[in-house]
Amino acid sequence: LESLRAEVRHRERVLRDAGARDVDDPAAAGALPRLVIVVDELAALLADQDGLHEVVADIAARGRSLGMHLVLCTQRPAGVVRDAVLANCDLRLSLRVNNEADSRALLGTVEAARLADAPAGRCLVGAHGVPARPLQVAVTTLDDLARIAAARATDVPVRRPWLDPLPASVPLADLVAVPRLLRHGSAVPDGGAPAVPFALVDLPAEQRRATAAWCPATDGHLLVVGGPGSGRSTCLRTIRAS
């Protein structure tokens, strides 16, 4: 969630610095690649992540101008996809659903609940102000996958909106190459008090990582807390070695 919020801020900053109104403005040409965010089961994710719906609603409302696009999937749209999101989802696709309420919530019609005898992949597609119509979802073949793989081989690397998970183990020597971080997120100044680097910090709100450093002269005492096997002794050995 923090990474998505940070990506919104990053894209707003890039457009502002370029003097561009949106990602299609010639002033921002090539500055921001399109970002497609796919949520496989929206209901489960909303139940697991507090605050997610506000982020989804924000991206639905502002994402198009920033080059951020949502693909939201759920088995039960009724009561899950709120009006704030639906109002900004112009294109809606419904495969077979089990009850009329789900069909009506998404398309404004009960027809998707009447696809019980239709072939797999039959769906109804509606757009804002356009009545839903039946379509058949295409099947991906091995030739399609080979073509996509060949195209990706020539892709230009792009900036990722979030980092990989923190590694299970970080060699102390690797911390030297990472910018240091002190209290309140400020970097260690050159010539400042001696700092003892001891950990790698994930900063999803800033889309970066930094080295956690302890400055005894300015920070005072350090308390290391953790249960058995959590890594307390390793932390102390790292501080001693650093």
For every one of its 242 residues, what pLDDT tens digit does the chain have, with 9 covering 90 and above? 889 999 999 999 999 999 999 999 999 988 899 999 999 888 888 888 888 888 999 999 999 999 999 999 988 888 777 788 888 888 999 999 988 988 888 888 899 988 888 888 999 998 877 888 999 999 899 999 999 888 887 777 778 888 889 998 889 888 876 666 654 444 444 555 678 889 999 988 888 888 888 888 888 899 999 999 999 999 999 999 98
Residue type, position 51, single letter = G
Q: What is the pLDDT of residue 21?
A: 93
Q: Is residue 237 in a domain? A: yes
> Domain span at residue 103?
2-152
Do 33 and 128 have their domain in common?
yes
Do 57 and 140 have their domain in common?
yes
Rounded-to-integer distance, Cα 153 and Cα 197, Å: 39
Q: Which residues pair with 197 in a beta bridge?
A: 213
Do 103 and 191 have their domain in common?
no
Do 34 and 64 have their domain in common?
yes
Do 134 and 182 have their domain in common?
no
Q: What is the pLDDT of residue 34?
A: 92
**CA separation, residue 35 to residues 64, 67, 72, 155 (Å):** 10, 6, 14, 15
Do 177 and 230 have their domain in common?
yes
Q: CB of 69 within 8 A of CB of 90?
A: no
Q: What residue ranges in the chain does DSSP mark as E strands?
A: 35-39, 68-72, 91-94, 122-127, 130-136, 180-181, 196-203, 208-214
Q: Is residue 160 in a domain? A: no
Q: What is the pLDDT of residue 192?
A: 58
Where is the domain boundary, 101, 120, 152?
Answer: 152
Rounded-to-integer distance, Cα 17 and Cα 73, Å: 34
Q: Is residue 145 in a domain? A: yes
Where is the domain boundary, 104, 122, 152?
Answer: 152
Q: What is the pLDDT of residue 187?
A: 46
* pTM across the whole model: 0.74
3-state secondary structure labels for all residues of 178-197:
CCEECHHHCCCCCCCCCCEE
Do 127 and 237 have their domain in common?
no
Do 14 and 98 have their domain in common?
yes
Do 23 and 129 have their domain in common?
yes
Q: Is residue 157 in a domain? A: no
Do 146 and 31 have their domain in common?
yes
Structural domain count of the chain = 2
Q: What is the pLDDT of residue 67?
A: 94
Picking from 13, 16, 59, the residue whose alpha carbon sits closest to that of residue 38 is 59
Q: What is the pLDDT of residue 216?
A: 87
CATH of the domain at 86: 3.40.50.300
Do 123 and 7 have their domain in common?
yes
Q: CB of 55 within 8 A of CB of 68?
A: no
